């Protein structure tokens, strides 16, 4: 059987829907939420309201532009977690209602597994086993991927995610939200070795970014005391140095993971995998270490339903369906 699956993503502030047919993603419709910019970060209540406003139109567009009718759908995949509980609830509830109306089964998807499986949307695709550095605003993980649905976290942050470190640093500098991409832009013109920041002393393959955020805050505080215009006069060098350090923290653990496991199939995923310095470093280190490196297209790095669709496809083939009383989970291990 060649399944046609509708997938819905609503874990944070992107309302997205996608249709996958026989393992081929046909579209990837995304509605972003600009309302959060003036608050400097995602406001959960506003996010859930925006999902309610957007989800009908987004799902309709995904179905209508795919060439697959509602009657031809075989299942509905949706993000169960992790994420904002109010946002997740909108997607889960909509998927349940449509499942009942169409008489087709549900497939719940782990958002972080889906980020990993985004690598199977387009060629080239990694071979098993491979390591995936999954980096976003909420997560930083090194995942050992043995099969489509068999994954193990072998390293992860013990406090903040690297994406949060980027965004909080941007907020400290009064850059508009989302600040991570802006730091990347300023960094293109700066000296990445102008300023130095501390690394964490976490054991094994784990990360810690809270200390870097604190050190960055105190660094700016002390420099501004000496020169109130320090940030505006040195914004390129500040951003380049911070970005270089955060990427170094990521790549040092990923390199260590490859050495410990002997695996040279290396992938990166999640919103921060769109960062230009991370992409440059994983390519450079990969060339040095003899890695086969895999990076998704930009549209599949941030939250999107195409990756949910791909995960739902493999769960459909494995017969892993959800009960109708399934509930969203704010925290959900991979």
Compute the average pLDDT of residues 300-323: 97
274 vs 259: CA distance, rounded Å: 25
Domains and CATH numbers, the chain: 4-116+301-317 (3.30.420.40), 125-295 (3.30.420.40)
Q: Is the dihedral of CA 74, 296, 272, 29 positive or negative?
A: negative
Tens of pLDDT, residues 278-291: 999 999 999 999 99
Encoding tokens for residue 267? Answer: 């992938």
The mean predicted confidence, pLDDT, of the chain is 95
Tens of pLDDT, residues 176-207: 888 899 999 999 999 999 999 988 878 899 99
46 vs 215: CA distance, rounded Å: 32
- What pLDDT score does 42 carry? 81
Q: Given the structure tokens 């890695």, which residue do they identify?
A: 291
270 vs 282: CA distance, rounded Å: 14
For residues 157 and 208, the answer to whether their CB atoms sit within 8 Å is yes
Name the band, by pLDDT with cuts 50, 70 and 90, for residue 334: confident
Compute the average pLDDT of residues 46-50: 93
Number of residues in the chain: 334
314 vs 117: CA distance, rounded Å: 9
Which helix (H) or strand (E) covers residue 143, if one does? strand 140-147
Half-sphere exposure of 176 (CA within 13 A, CB side): 6
Which pTM was predicted? Answer: 0.95
For residues 159 and 170, the answer to whether their CB atoms sit within 8 Å is no
158 vs 141: CA distance, rounded Å: 10
Q: How far is CA 311 from CA 27, 61, 91, 285, in A?
A: 15, 21, 16, 29
Name the band, by pLDDT with cuts 50, 70 and 90, for residue 248: very high
What is the percentage of the chain residues whose pLDDT exceeds 90?
A: 90
Tens of pLDDT, residues 13-22: 999 999 999 9
Name the band, by pLDDT with cuts 50, 70 and 90, for residue 40: confident
For residues 114 and 311, the answer to whether their CB atoms sit within 8 Å is yes
For residues 7 and 308, the answer to whether their CB atoms sit within 8 Å is yes
Residue 280: Cβ-neighbour burial (10 angstroms; 0-12, 13-18, 19+):
exposed
């Amino acid at each position: 059987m060649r399944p046609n699956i509708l997938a819905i993503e609503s874990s944070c502030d992107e309302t997205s829907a996608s249709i996958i047919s026989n393992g081929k993603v046909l579209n990837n419709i995304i509605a972003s939420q600009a309302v959060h910019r003036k608050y400097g970060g995602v406001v959960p209540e506003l996010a859930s309201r925006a999902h309610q406003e957007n989800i009908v139109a987004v799902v309709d567009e995904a179905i209508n532009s795919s060439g697959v009718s509602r009657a031809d759908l075989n299942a509905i995949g949706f993000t169960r977690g992790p994420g904002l509980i109010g946002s997740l609830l909108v997607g889960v509830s909509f998927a349940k209602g449509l499942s009942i109306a169409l008489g087709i089964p549900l497939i719940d998807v782990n958002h972080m597994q889906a980020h990993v499986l985004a690598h199977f949307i387009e060629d080239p695709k990694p071979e098993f086993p491979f390591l995936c550095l999954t980096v976003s605003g909420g997560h930083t993980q090194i995942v050992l991927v043995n099969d489509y649905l068999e994954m193990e976290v072998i390293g992860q942050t013990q406090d903040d995610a690297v994406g949060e470190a980027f965004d909080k640093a941007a907020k400290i500098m009064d850059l508009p939200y989302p600040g991570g991409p802006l730091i990347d832009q300023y960094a293109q013109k700066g000296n990445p070795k102008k300023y130095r920041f501390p690394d964490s002393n976490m054991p094994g393959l784990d990360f810690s970014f809270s200390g870097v955020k604190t050190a960055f805050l105190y660094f700016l505080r002390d420099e501004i005391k000496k020169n109130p215009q320090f940030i505006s006069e040195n914004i390129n060098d500040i951003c380049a140095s911070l970005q270089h350090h955060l990427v170094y923290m990521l790549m040092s653990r990923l390199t260590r993971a490859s050495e410990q496991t002997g695996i040279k199939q290396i992938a990166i995923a999640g919103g921060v995998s769109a960062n230009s310095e991370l992409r440059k470093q994983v390519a450079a280190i990969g060339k040095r270490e003899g890695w086969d490196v895999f990076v998704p297209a930009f549209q599949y790095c941030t939250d999107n339903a195409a990756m949910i669709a791909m995960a739902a496809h493999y769960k459909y083939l494995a017969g892993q369906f959800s009960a109708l009383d399934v509930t969203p989970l704010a925290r959900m291990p991979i």
